[in-house]
Structure 1
Amino acid sequence: MSNKHSIRMSGLGGQGVVTAAHILGNAATKDGLVSTVNPFFGAEKRLAPAESYVRIDSESIHERGEVLYPDIIMIFHPHVITMGKCYTMPFFDGLQENGIILANSEEFPQLSEDELQKLAQLNAKLYYFSATQVALDVGGTELATNMAMLGGLLGVKQLVSSESLKDALTERFGGGKFVASGTTAALDDALKGKYEKITQLIDQNMEVMEAAKSAVKEFVI
């Protein structure tokens, strides 16, 4: 089985897209794989489009920057699709054959007949679940939506181990050496403020990821 994957994460500012990418990439490294992580956003403000790109491979990675041909696309907010709040149009541009799309939505966002036809030609697999609701129900805060999205991803594609995800999460919020941008650091602090102890943050967010795995549904084209 190939360990080569290119993931494009699209969402809105404040949803932790950059944090999710960093944790996923770090978890892959802890599993003995090679990874690169590249965030991309315009104005660093809430609800502005934000994207992050993660490459994972068992061999050296020479590509950098934007993922033009993802085999996995993660949609952190339905407005990425319904309102075009993303830097790539259409939102699935470049998706590889047999690729995966995972959307945070109670129902898979409505697509045009043309979009459905193109996705069918690619034999794409479409999945959805309310990551935000899982975050609220299990984690107690919508700031855990990005962790729910990572859990949902593992529910459809086991890219990394749960153990490595927990280690990466602990390193990110437990005083690791990661240097975040101003806004991302503020979001990290906001999430920490939702829990009395870092251990509680780690445990509840791992519970969020586990709950998300079983919450994912497939949208049949």
Structure 2
Amino acid sequence: MILRRINIRMSGLGGQGAVTAAHVMAMAASKDGKFAISNPFFGAEKRMAPAESYCRIGLRKIYDRGELVFPDVIQVFHPQVITMGKSYTMPFYSGIKEGGLVIINTDMPLLSDEDVKRLKDLNVSVFNIPGTNIALEIAGTELATNMTMIGSVAGITKCVSMNGLDLALQERFGKKFVASGGTATLDEAIKKKFAKKEMLLKKNLDTVARSYEIAAEWAEKNHVELMVGEATAA
């Protein structure tokens, strides 16, 4: 399926960097010459509280913002979004469009038989990726889990390029970036994990690249196509 615009809803918990992930994706899209808007949605800014962010990427100017009720893609950053209902929408895939995509950070199946059936009826593809494990293996910290989620959605949808992500990460972490509240605190926590910004950038990009590769391979193997582009005439 080729879309002129793709709407991504990122559901996670406070401290996982879902807000940062949406912003990096939007920045990367801009670097690629596309239009994009990202925005957060959360209640109490504290660790492990429900948090959502939204990213809209397209080939035309985007004027709407705010909560994404009908996303093309839903990303689940933490299993508790599903297992403990830590989500602003119930079930977590509420509103997913037919032919959409769900990406879950998990190393084991989490969906109930009912969820599997309902998503199958909507022709929604489900991709499980052990994002936290990949972050620990490559970056040495679970704080890089959001990098695996960025790489996975980019690898499947190709809505942003690796070059665009590289430039976006350099701008986000390599320069003085003004963030607010919990997002600023998380940025500083990540930076303190690495002695030099160059190492932080490399580890983040390596984590993105690895998850991009895994996701792209899965999409090709399972014939999943959900991309941003102009539809060609038959």
TM-score, normalised relative to structure 2: 0.89
For 1:30, the equivalent position in structure 2 comes to 31
Where does 1:75-94 land on structure 2 (aligned, <5 Å)? 75-94=76-95
Q: Does 1:57 align with 2:58?
A: yes
CA displacement, residues 28-47 of structure 1 (integer Å, 9 cap, x when unaligned): 11111111111001000000
SS across alignment from 1:126: strand
Matched residue, 2:69: 68
Q: Who is 1:163 aligned against?
A: 163
Aligned to 1:45: 46
- Following TM superposition, by how much is the alpha carbon of 1:54 offset from its aligned partner in structure 2, in angstroms? 0.6
Cα deviation, 1:54-79, whole Å, max 9, x if unaligned, reads: 11111011211001110000000011
Q: What residue is the counterpart of 1:135 in the other structure? A: 135
CA-to-partner distance for each residue in 1:152-204, whole Å, 9 max, x for gaps?
A: 1122221101011011111111224x431221111101101111111111111
Q: Quote how far apart the aligned CAs of 1:4 are.
A: 0.6
- Offset at residue 6 of structure 1 (A): 0.3
Identical positions, percent: 48
User: What is the aligned partner in structure 2 of residue 197 from structure 1?
Assistant: 196
Structure 1 distance, partners of 2:161, 2:4, is 13
What one-letter code is carried by the residue in structure 2 that aligns with 1:174?
G
Higher relative contact order (CA 8 A, sep 6+): 2
1: distance between equivalents of 2:159 and 2:109? 23
Shift of 1:92: 0.5
Aligned to 1:119: 119
In structure 1, the residue matched to 2:225 is: none
The aligned amino acid for 2:207 is: V
Q: How many residues align?
A: 217
Amino acid at match of 1:122: L
Query: SS at 1:207's partner residue?
Result: helix
1:108, distance to aligned residue in structure 2 (A): 2.9
Name stretches of at least 5 consecutive residues in structure 1 with no aligned partner. Answer: none
CA RMSD of aligned residues (A): 1.5
Give the ranges of 4+ consecutive aligned residues of structure 1 lying more than 6 Å apart after TM superposition.
Answer: none
